[in-house]
Structure 1
Amino acid sequence: MIRGLYTSASGMLAEMARTDVISNNLANINTTGFKKDRAVFRAFPEMNIHRYDDPQPVGAGFVIDPVPYIGVLGTGAGLDEIRVDFTQGRIEMTSNPLDLAIEDTAAGETSFFEIQTPAGIRYTRDGSFTINADGFLVTREGYYVMGENGPINLRNGSKVEINTEGEVYLDGLMVDRLRIAAFPAGLSLEKQGDNLYRAQGVPLPANARIIQGALERANVNAVSEMVNLISAFRAYEANQRMVRAHDDTLAGAVNEIAKI
């Protein structure tokens, strides 16, 4: 009975973590360039079950396995990791020349804009840029968008054009080229807040297309996430009922023993 309480409680904790991840996905459904998360779980080690004190006599002085094997007992599950799903989001045209979207063209790779922050270089898929008071191309939070020559300055001009190769033109003259970094599948990228990622390895040269006047929407499907959320709630409630049932059984056993 005690084992059942722990197993059910571990299921409740796992579903709580899953609910938090799904809720965060739904909260960011309108966040430009957001990539949804997935909670990955692992099962705790299983235990072999044997029946004790049940010898089977087969003759004088002989018995069949006194502790026969019955099967395995699951001991619960726990959160292993939260994995980011980097599938391409829907690209939506905005007609704003400072809005940029990345369209990945190489299989198994995800490309990012390179951003200069006070904490160092970070990466983002959010291309809703603007120009600050000093004429630099920046993110919504004011972080510099990096080009091959450093932060991109668009001060002395009016018409900004950016082609599919990431080349930045100001009034018809090329001023820089966007620094786009690509990361292969499996390379660790850690979310840092403000829709930024910190890389755990060295990025590769990107083969992606840059689309001016467009933004990439979050790759979150509201319907499927709501279905997952309902499923998590039901699994949590099922484990909760099991905890209550074990608790009632344990209470009954203690009361009966006390009477004896």
Structure 2
Amino acid sequence: MLRGLYSSTTGMNVQQAKVDNISNNMANSTTPGYKKDELLIQSFPEQLLIEQGGPKRKDGLPLQNPAAKIGSLGTGSLVAETVTDYTAGTLQETGNPTDIAIRGPGFFVVSASAQEDPDKVYYTRSGFFKVDQEGYLTLNGRYRVLGEAGEIRVGSDKFTVSPDGSIDAGGTVIDRLRLVEFDDLNSLSKEGEGLFTGIQGSEKQAAATTVVQGRVETSNVNVVDEMAQLISVMRAYEANQRIIQNYDEILNKAVNQIGSIR
């Protein structure tokens, strides 16, 4: 009987993890370039049930094979891993010259500005850029956007960007956006703020990626779908909760009524 309690408990844990994941996706539904996460669920190893003593003959004597297989028993579920959906979001026109959107599978590269690792970089699909007080093109006011020659200093927002990433300021091409692609997107890891890190050497120069100035890529979160999933998850959570309550009532009767000595 307790196996049912354990299975229902793991089911509730899984549904709670789904609620947390859906909540995070919905909270970032308006974050430029955000990629939603999905949970992969797996079951615990199944157990083989065997009837102890096995079937008996009509005369009551046991058969030569005293064990009989009843079947397998599931023991619950757990979150196997979290995967990121890299499907591109729609491009939203803003008219802001510092906003740059990616078309294709590529990523922008920004500096991590880490003193312990000055060469560390992040990858992002968010092109919601700003020009800082020193004239550098930045993401979130902290991470400087990198070009082929290093950090890009545009001076002001009076610049244009070609589809290939070339940046023209005052009639002179000052640099070209560093755009990269990955053969295996599963090699990327989320770091927050729309940033990703990758395995060293896994990136390659973008070949099928272009950019558009004056637009940003929206998140790929569909709020309606997430709400529908949330309702389904909550119902599954409540079902597991009711199972635990029923088991509790049965155990209470077994202990206090059936098992009592009178």
TM-score under structure 1 normalisation?
0.92
Q: Which residue of 2 aligns with 1:217?
A: 218
Shift of 1:250: 1.3
Question: Which SS does the other structure have where 2:48 is aligned?
Answer: strand
Q: Which residue of 2 aligns with 1:257?
A: 259
Contact kept in structure 2, 1:14 and 1:78, CA below 8 Å: yes
The question of 1:188 aligning with 2:183 is answered no
**Which has the larger displacement, 197-206 or 120-129?**
197-206
Alignment partners' CA distance in 1, 2:198 and 2:180:
10
Alignment partners' CA distance in 2, 1:61 and 1:140:
79
Q: Which residue of 2 aligns with 1:229?
A: 230
What letter is aligned with 1:116? S
Contact kept in structure 2, 1:158 and 1:171, CA below 8 Å: no
Shift of 1:64: 6.7
The question of 1:172 aligning with 2:167 is answered no
Contact kept in structure 1, 2:43 and 2:77, CA below 8 Å: yes
What fraction of aligned residue pairs are identical, expressed as a percent?
38
Q: Deviations over 1:77-125 (max 9, x none)?
A: 0111111100010111111111011111xxxxx3211010223211111
Q: Which residue of 2 aligns with 1:88?
A: 88
The question of 1:122 aligning with 2:130 is answered no
What letter is aligned with 1:197? F
Q: Which residue of 2 aligns with 1:25?
A: 25
What letter is aligned with 2:66? P
Give 5+ residue unaligned stretches, structure 2: 115-119
Alignment partners' CA distance in 2, 1:244 and 1:69:
31
Alignment partners' CA distance in 2, 1:60 and 1:43:
40
What letter is aligned with 1:78? L
What letter is aligned with 2:179? I
Question: Which SS does the other structure have where 2:57 is aligned?
Answer: strand
Q: Deviations over 1:134-181 (max 9, x none)?
A: 1111112321000011100112x6631111111111122110010112
Give 5+ residue unaligned stretches, structure 1: 105-109
Distance 1:12 1:121, change over 3 A: same
Question: Which SS does the other structure have where 2:71 is aligned?
Answer: strand
Alignment partners' CA distance in 2, 1:158 and 1:113:
18
Question: Which SS does the other structure have where 1:134 is aligned?
Answer: coil
Q: Deviations over 1:230-250 (max 9, x none)?
A: 111011111111111111111
Q: Deviations over 1:211-239 (max 9, x none)?
A: 11110000011111111101110111111
Alignment partners' CA distance in 1, 2:153 and 2:125:
20
Total equivalences in the alignment: 254
Question: Which SS does the other structure have where 2:227 is aligned?
Answer: helix
**Which has the larger displacement, 127-136 or 65-74?**
65-74
Aligned alpha-carbon RMSD (Å):
1.8
Alignment partners' CA distance in 2, 1:204 and 1:17:
34
Which is strand-richer, 1 or 2?
Answer: 1
Contact kept in structure 2, 1:30 and 1:217, CA below 8 Å: yes
Contact kept in structure 2, 1:55 and 1:64, CA below 8 Å: no
Q: Which residue of 2 aligns with 1:244?
A: 245
Question: Which SS does the other structure have where 1:30 is aligned?
Answer: coil
Distance 1:230 1:158, change over 3 A: closer
Question: Which SS does the other structure have where 1:259 is aligned?
Answer: coil
Contact kept in structure 1, 2:6 and 2:76, CA below 8 Å: yes
Shift of 1:51: 2.1
Shift of 1:58: 6.3
Q: Which residue of 2 aligns with 1:6?
A: 6
**1:32-111 to 2 correspondences below 5 Å:** 32-57=32-57, 63=63, 65-104=65-104, 110-111=105-106
Q: Which runs of 4+ in 1 moved over 3 A?
A: 58-62
